[in-house]
Amino acid sequence: MGKPEPNFHYKLMALGYKFRDFFLPRMNVLKEVGIEPGFHALDYGCGPGSYITPLAKLVGESGKIYALDTHPLAIQMVQDIAARKRLRNIETIHSDCATGLENRVIDVILLYDTYHDLADPDGVLKELHRVLKPNSVLSFSDHHMKKEEILSQITRNNLFALLREGKSTYSFSKV
């Protein structure tokens, strides 16, 4: 991801997301993905944590959520959500590419509105491919990109293939 935004801009962006999430609940997006209890999920570019609470409901107590971002405020906001809601299955990762996770441990990755801003998109896709289990899903959305651009970018290195197109997301399978 690119250079982190200044704290004031980040807080302003987070406020905008709260309004968005009120009118367009994130659970509606996540329902397209097919997340089940017990899943291990990676929210890559988690931002202020818009998906954390609905994701926690879907994976349940037996699941695990990894929330990764480059911005220290994003990490702090997710940690605050986890503490406030007493979510014990959330782990934050402060990074710009590497997850630090073992190979093939993730069932689903959320890559939402982040790809367009990545400093090393090919490196990130290789890292995501590495941590995904076989038959797992990369759920992708980026309102800065057109459909053709998304499909060509995500599939060009033969790491992922389009599985399905939802109303809000594209699901890619690991090749």
Q: What is the pLDDT of residues 44-100, one digit of tens each?
A: 999 999 999 999 999 999 999 999 999 999 999 999 999 999 999 999 999 988 999
pTM across the whole model? 0.91
Interior CA angle at 129 toward 74 and 156, to 5°?
A: 105
CB 65 within 8 A of CB 78: no
CA 105 to chain centroid, in Å, comes to 15
Output the average pLDDT for the chain: 93
- Measured between alpha carbons, how far is 46 from 68 in angstroms, rounded to an integer? 6
> What are 40's two structure tokens?
């291990």
Structural domain boundaries of the chain?
Answer: 7-174
Residues in Cβ contact with 152 at an 8 Å cutoff, skipping those fewer than 6 apart: none
- Measured between alpha carbons, how far is 93 from 155 in angstroms, rounded to an integer? 26
Q: Is the pLDDT of residue 106 over 70?
A: yes
Q: Is the pLDDT of residue 9 over 80?
A: no
Q: Which CATH architecture has domain 7-174?
A: 3-Layer(aba) Sandwich (3.40)
Model confidence band, residue 8 (pLDDT cutoffs 50, 70, 90): confident
Per DSSP, the residues of 42-79 read: EEET-TTTTTHHHHHHHH-TTSEEEEEES-HHHHHHHH
> What are 157's two structure tokens?
């290195």
Could you tell me what percent of the chain has a pLDDT over 90? Answer: 84
CB 99 within 8 A of CB 127: yes
- Measured between alpha carbons, how far is 102 from 22 in angstroms, rounded to an integer? 35
Q: Is the pLDDT of residue 172 over 80?
A: yes
